[in-house]
Chains A and B, each alone.
Chain A
Amino acid sequence: MEENSVEIQKKRNSGLTVVLIVVNVFLALLYANVTDNSEDQTYINYIWLAGSLTFLLGGFAFTYHGKDYRWGKWLFALSLIVSLGFFALLIMATSLAHAFHN
């Protein structure tokens, strides 16, 4: 009985976490877009989206363990790879711009 209620609490909390991840990603994008958009805004949006999603999924992956929550870890790994890809692109673009500038 005890174990069962712990399991139920975990299920409810994880459900709430999913909702909060969606809400926070939405709010992060809202924050990035409330002022006028410059030309590179789409690019900036992808970075915000990837960054915030990875960060929030990381919390999920490190909090909920067990077979039923493994998908969270997979999603986190996937978003981490995508974010790192973006990050690498960003560094490449800035160093390229820097080289071009010089």
Chain B
Amino acid sequence: MAIKLYDYSLSGSCYKVRLLLDFLELDYEKRQMDFYPGREHRSLEFKQLNPLGQLPVLEDDGVRLRDAQAILCHLANKYDRSGQWLPRDPGSFGSVMMWLMFAGGELMAASAARLHDALGYDLDIEAARRNAHAAFRILDDHLTKREIEGGTWIVGEHPTLADIACFPYTALSSDGGIGREDYPALRNWLRAFHHLPKFKAMSGIAEFA
């Protein structure tokens, strides 16, 4: 099989890649990693595949990639005939990139809060929650404006990689003690994403919405 994903079921970052693989109906081999308590991703062997010691890692026909956002771009670029997931038109391309960076950057505070609360990671939890709320507010403000323009998705008229990248850690926010009471536009967007064909939930995200 051409595509191999080094995966952990509970990882929201791995879930970003699994979502796109399902949306594109791609077959792939899954190499299950003992992330916790085994910390296999921090082993010397795994660091030969990704020196950052992080998941996911994707291998595809001789190309090896780390970073969920980069992997999303690779898969969309190579396999998405429709061009929907990574639009190339000048009005959209940069915006999708901007929100991909945000998903791998500011939004990851919600992932930190979840790792602290669920798996006992030692970090500043108050700062993580505060930063997560700040990021959620930015996304909710953007989606509020999109609602007024008659749009559902982060960029343009249909879902893109921006939506896939931003979905997991916002949907999993309560795992880190981050409620969504203050974000009505965000909640509507989460629900719309949940109803996409070929969508599958993961642990911490309700199957039914």
Q: Do A and B come from one complex?
A: no
